[in-house]
Amino acid sequence: MSKRRKASIEDVARRAKVSITTVSRVINRVPTVSRKNQVKVEEAIAALKYTPDVNAQRLARGLSNAVGLVMPGYPGIFHSFYAIELIRGVGHACETLRLDMVFHITNGYNPLSTAGVGGIIFADIIENRSQIEAAVEAGVSCMVINNIVDDLDVSYIGVDNIAGGRVATDYLVSLGHTKVAIITGNIRAQAGAQRLEGFKQTLKEKEVAVRPEYIVEGDYSRRSARLAAEQLLELPEPPTAIFAASDDMALEAMTVIMERGLRVPDDISVVGFDDNPSSIYGPVALTTIRQPLFQMAESAVRNLNAIVLGKKKPPIRNILSPQLVVRESCARPPIQ
């Protein structure tokens, strides 16, 4: 056999003096193979340095080579750093593992077809929990990103969003701010609700008033952030600090502040969430909460693939800690 040619399953079968079917059964851990033949096949695999073809393994087990990515739709999704990073991370991992990606944007209400995919990644859960429940019920391997789901037999990887809200708010309070506002994400989503909860918890612990007029709901889009920032700036007593639940919204809020002739951070401090690289290159570098979106997406694909191939047992669950990244957009409040 040429040294340049990669060993095939036929080469393993000839060396072990067994059938190709027996080799396939050993590779796929089918328990019907005798111990004697199993040893012969394993020795042949080691001697030939044979690496099983992942696609062939999947086909032998009746598995699809495709991974589904389901993402709830919202305004400006294709201009969202969050969405783009998840799509990029899933796509990169699929390319590395030689998997196909099937992308689906959902409104949360229509039934989701699980045909043709070996597993599904759900990028958050926004009004589409029934789709995850149906996939789990159908026996499809699932992985959820950015949502902690402890009441379903499903794997997930996410960020401690309550801690993220607490860290952002605590930083602003530590600078001396007592007029602290928040532009929330979609509070029907776990991330949006938990970042708001972390904000409220910290203000109460620091004995800073939680003022209802300082809590304005957004949906992660720049348009919602513009409307929210305008609303906050028109208050009789505007805030001196704003925590926006995404960098996209924080950047838009900063734009509105500057359009009004105010300065960041001299007049109003701003904190975002995500650590979008574009937040470094604006007029003022944005202080933010970092969550490793690309790495989360890559890890989700790799763990889901391992589950589908039987190399790992579900559920796989991982909660990451967010990190404060201090830049230029925050300062002590102006002297009144």
Task: Please write the tens of the pLDDT for every residue from 170-207.
Answer: 999 999 999 999 999 989 889 999 999 999 999 999 99
Tokens 């690289």 belong to: 277
Residue 249 has pLDDT above 70, yes or no: yes
**Is residue 56 very low, low, confident or very high in pLDDT (cuts 50, 70, 90)?**
low
Residue 336 has pLDDT above 50, yes or no: yes
pTM above 0.95, yes or no: no
Q: Does domain 161-291 have CATH number 3.40.50.2300?
A: yes
Tokens 């960098």 belong to: 247
Region class of 29: left (phi > 0), else alpha (psi between -120 and 50), else beta: left
**Is residue 1 very low, low, confident or very high in pLDDT (cuts 50, 70, 90)?**
very low
DSSP 60: H
* CB of 274 closer than 8 Å to CB of 291: yes
| pLDDT confidence of residue 2 | 45
CATH class of 9-52: mainly alpha
Average pLDDT over residues 129-146: 89
Residue 127 has pLDDT above 60, yes or no: yes
* CB of 185 closer than 8 Å to CB of 220: yes
Rg (CA), the chain: 25
The total number of residues written for the chain in this structure: 336
Six-digit token pair at 161?
A: 């969003």
Q: Do domains 9-52 and 161-291 have the same CATH topology?
A: no
Residue 29 has pLDDT above 80, yes or no: no
CA distances from residue 130 to 69, 94, 102, 135 in whole angstroms, order as listed = 16, 26, 19, 9
DSSP element (H, E) containing 256: helix 247-259
Average pLDDT over residues 134-141: 86
Sheet with strand 119-123: strands edge to edge: 100-106, 66-72, 119-123, 141-145, 155-159, 317-320
Chain segment 317-330, per-residue pLDDT in tens: 999 999 999 999 99
| pLDDT confidence of residue 24 | 77
Mean pLDDT, rounded, of the chain: 89
| pLDDT confidence of residue 60 | 53
Give the closest residue to 245 by CA, choosing from 167, 141, 151.
Answer: 167
Which range among 70-84, 255-269, 321-335 shows the weakest confidence by mean pLDDT? 70-84
- Interhelix angle for 247-259 vs 81-97, to 10°? 150
Domain layout of the chain by residue ranges: 9-52, 66-159+293-321, 161-291
Chain segment 282-296, per-residue pLDDT in tens: 889 999 999 999 999
Residue 54 has pLDDT above 70, yes or no: no
**Is residue 57 very low, low, confident or very high in pLDDT (cuts 50, 70, 90)?**
low
* CATH code that applies to domain 66-159+293-321: 3.40.50.2300
